[in-house]
Amino acid sequence: MCGIVGAVAQRDVAAILIAGLKQLEYRGYDSAGLAIISADKQLHCLRRVGKVEKLQQAVIESPVFGGTGIAHTRWATHGIANETNAHPHISHQQIAVVHNGIIENHQQLRQQLIEQGYTFSSETDTEVITHLTHFHLQTTETLLEAVQKTIKQLQGAYGTVIIDKNDPEQMIVARSGSPLVIGYGLGEHFVASDPLALLAVTRRFSFLEEGDIAQISRFSVKIFDAQGDPVKRDIVESQTSNESNDKGQYKHYMLKEIFEQPLALQRTLAGRIQQHKIAPDCFPNEKLQGIEHIQIIACGTSYHAALVARYWFESLAGISCNVEIASEFRYRKSVTPKNSLLITLSQSGETADTLAALRLAKQLDYQTTLTICNSPESSLVRESDIAYMMKAGREVGVASSKAFTVQLAALLMLVATLGRQHQLSADREKQIVEALQSLPAKIEQVLAMEQQIKQLAEGFADKHHSLFLGRGEQYPIAMEGALKLKEISYIHAEAYAAGELKHGPLALVDADMPVIVVAPDNELLEKLKSNVEEVRARGGLMIVFADKNSGFKSDDTMQVLEVPHCDPIIAPIVYTIPLQLLSYHVALIKGTDVDQPRNLAKSVTVE
């Protein structure tokens, strides 16, 4: 999703801004732009639709020099993706603004500004910040005061950076709902929506809190809280590794990340298992004592991980568990059962809806909050009582792969930890631990099925619709398989609990609607076989990923791909892999942008 980078330095900053935007590219965006104040106090703005590469090319063709500048990658919310709507937005060739988020009262403000004589050149909500700042600057002494007045009038979410060509030695930044981090250099300072964008220039950061406004110049950073009082925010050394962002031998990041899963799982398990048990410091036990109910909040792929965990928490640990999509939970009046734990799942730790749900939950009666997250410096990690760091390594592909399977492994470890206070025996915990430890090797075996899956994809790529079926904890895996196919191949896919088929979706089944079934060897296998027969009896064509002991045989109506046998506990993780590979190869044949599918973004920082 949108990225922001800003700098106040003595050197030319264009290259720093472009390099920062490139680090954020993987999040998905539709256009990019920058504005720089030159030594003769002129504002130079360049904007391009499409990749940062195009913006970079524009900068090469018309170089812009200057030490104060802001840059942005936009993921449109208000107004189509074109050059006029791209950020920065400019008022009177003087004020330049970049913004992440949504200004909810933009129409009202736009009307008021038009009445004051302002002309709008874009369809964006953002442009009101630009003109409003210019408007207030007519009656205030400083840019800071003008921005403070502007911010008071805004409703909605923003991370915004504002510069004024008449005051070229500073930028004003404000955060409410969208993350911003200040980077500290020597005689230069930076701002970004993610520290990742600035790792090439600094590792020292302070994270702005909700409502903060900061005045940043080369030699000073002054931060004011929501009440306008000066405040100090800790400067921390970033732990984020500056790991290579290279696709290596792979054609796409997504494929690389699918194949990295054995390693990612090894990393998440390392040091967290001791003598057939989950290590005591994996989840701090004292805060989790007496937990009787779990509420998991997540979005997208993470929501599917949460749904799998619900089966595990209830069947293995005997703890009641609810799962809800963050954007629903945050606007619903919910009842909090006694001794409840709230879990949030988010790869980036900045998912706007999930973060808002966590903040809401803190006003409710939860005993404690825990996040499972892949980004150590994210808002979710900083604001939760307990944080489990996934250590999956950076995930660049917009469609999540390794983050999902690592989330599942982390959740299974939590099930074992909490289960000890309930019905989980030491033997059962040992079985869970051994199953987890077998995962990297098991997944290697499944990855070896790639060629077979590639062939399968050839018969699939011309289809327009598909159904994914699973039962029990494989139902959310079917949901994840359908989501993956939709995301990267743009083929319509729906998932159903196989037992639900006869209540409606069976009407859709014909030879043009491939039905994908996940069939591990578990207690629901015979029930699933009956559901498969229901599809066959209606002329449906099936692809079945089945345990080699399941008894499924390929024939005219069914292609069976044997998945290596595994402990049913970890089957949801194992059966995810062939579905990821299927989506990837279908997308490859269709020629879509696998790593940055249309209309989607990686870190969803708007609600």
Q: Which of 52, 55, 75, 146 binds ligand HGA (CB under 6 A)?
A: 75
Are the beta carbons of 470 and 495 closer than 8 angstroms?
A: yes
Binding segment for ligand HGA (CB under 6 A), chosen from 97-105, 268-276, 420-428, 551-559, is 97-105
Half-sphere exposure of 313 (CA within 13 A, CB side): 24
* Residue-by-residue DSSP string for 430-473: HHHHHHHHHHHHHHHHHHTTHHHHHHHHHTTTT-SEEEEEE-GG
Say whether residue 102 binds ligand HGA (CB under 6 A): yes
Q: Does 299 bind ligand HGA (CB under 6 A)?
A: no
Q: Does 100 bind ligand HGA (CB under 6 A)?
A: yes
24 or 569: CB nearest ligand HGA = 24
* Whole-number Cα distances in Å, 454 to 237, 574, 575: 44, 18, 16
**DSSP bridge pairs for 215:** 172, 222
Q: Least Å distance between CB 70 and ligand HGA? A: 14
Under rule CB under 6 A, residue 374 binds ligand HGA: no
Residue from 583, 553, 578 nearest 566 by CA: 578
CB neighbours of residue 54 within 10 Å:
15
Q: One-letter amino acid identity for 385?
A: D
Distance in Å, CB of 79 to ligand HGA, minimum: 6
Q: Which is nearer to ligand HGA, 168 or 177 (CB)?
A: 177
- What is d(CA 459, CA 586) in angstroms, rounded to the nearest whole number? 9
Our finding on whether 1 is near ligand HGA (CB under 6 A) is yes
Q: Which residue has the tokens 């997308």?
A: 587
Binding track, positions 107-146, relative to ligand HGA; x by CB under 6 A: -----------------xxx--------------------
606 binds ligand HGA (CB under 6 A): yes
Q: Quick check: is 2 catalytic?
A: yes
Distance CA 212, CA 96 (A): 20
Q: CB-wise, 126 or 375, nearer to ligand HGA?
A: 126
H or E segment and range at residue 189 = strand 189-192
Q: What are the start-end ranges of the E strands in 360-402? A: 368-373, 386-389
- The single residue among 38, 54, 65, 76 that binds ligand HGA, judged by CB under 6 A, is 76
480 Cβ neighbours under 8 A, 6+ residues apart: 301, 304, 404, 576, 579
2 binds ligand HGA (CB under 6 A): yes
The binding track of 77-96 with respect to ligand HGA, each residue x by CB under 6 A or -, is xxx-----------------
C-beta nearest to ligand HGA: residue? 2
CB 216 within 8 A of CB 170: yes
Distance CA 9, CA 218 (A): 6
User: Cβ closer to ligand HGA: 9 or 147?
Assistant: 147
Residue whose CB is less far from ligand HGA, 130 or 340:
130
In 190-283, which residue ranges form alpha helices assigned H by DSSP?
253-259, 261-269
Report the nearest approach of ligand HGA to the CB of residue 1 (Å).
4
Task: Find the binder of ligand HGA among 47, 99, 442, 471 (CB under 6 A).
Answer: 99
Beta carbon nearer to ligand HGA, 449 or 600:
600
Task: Give the nearer residue to ligand HGA in terms of CB position, either 56 or 160.
Answer: 160
Enumerate the active-site residues: 2, 602
What is the binding site for ligand HGA (CB under 6 A)? Answer: 1-2, 74-79, 99-102, 124-126, 605-606
